Structure 1
Amino acid sequence: MGLVTELLLNDGTLPQLSSLVEKPNLINKKNGALFSLLWFLLLVMIITPITAVLELDAIVAIFAILGVFGSLFILIFSLLFLPSSKRSNIASFPARRMKKVGRVEIPQEAFLAVLKVNEG
């Protein structure tokens, strides 16, 4: 009977299982920092030497500047504006759950106990 009551209280969902269904967000601080590192390595360590060997002097400078300052800009942007990656921890459930009745929050155990008394 506890499962049915919890489903009724949470509009037909189980909040403990909601973290399992959520898809991870790929746009976060960690991936932004990784992308800036890959950008730096690609432009400065790979493309710049290749263009230098091909004797494209003006393009070498452009790729070097884009590699250094582009990766710095991407890193700062990702650290300031992108959300942190959230790791779901199922062991943290159930945190202290409260049921709001009007303006008063009541612990869920007390609320369920009242429901059981009313049923029996």
Structure 2
Amino acid sequence: MASIAKAKPTDYITGRARDLRMNATDVEKIVWQRLRNAQLGAKFRRQEPILGFVADFVAHDHRLIVELGGGQHAEQRAAHDERRARMLEQAGFRILRFWNTDVIDNLDGVLETIRAHLEETPILRSQPSGREFP
């Protein structure tokens, strides 16, 4: 299933991801400032196309997706989000979800939760020499 996640995204999804990166919410900007440059020990990408969806943040080496949400339109998106989560989990990803209010009220707690999940997940990518990371 992992190869499915690497399939080339459609032009629409690529454009959508680009638009989302260019128009990030304030909460996404706050989290990105703390995830970028491997500050938590893992490389994250933001607004990354995966399986026809756009993940807010993903650490591919750890197969970890971080999603943020404000709660608006929650009922209308529930079925879509459930289907999306099922597909991503079947491809081997774990998904952490945080409300925007969690980030605003407890950023350190959100980051610590992400860090804990990174630490308990082995790195899946090989080093250039072909040796596995410890």
TM class by shorter chain equals under 0.3
Give the structure-2-normalised TM-score.
0.23
TM-score, normalised to structure 1's length? 0.25
Q: Which has the larger radius of gyration?
A: 1
Q: Choose between structure 1 and 2: higher strand proportion.
A: 2
Structure having the larger proportion of residues in helix: 1
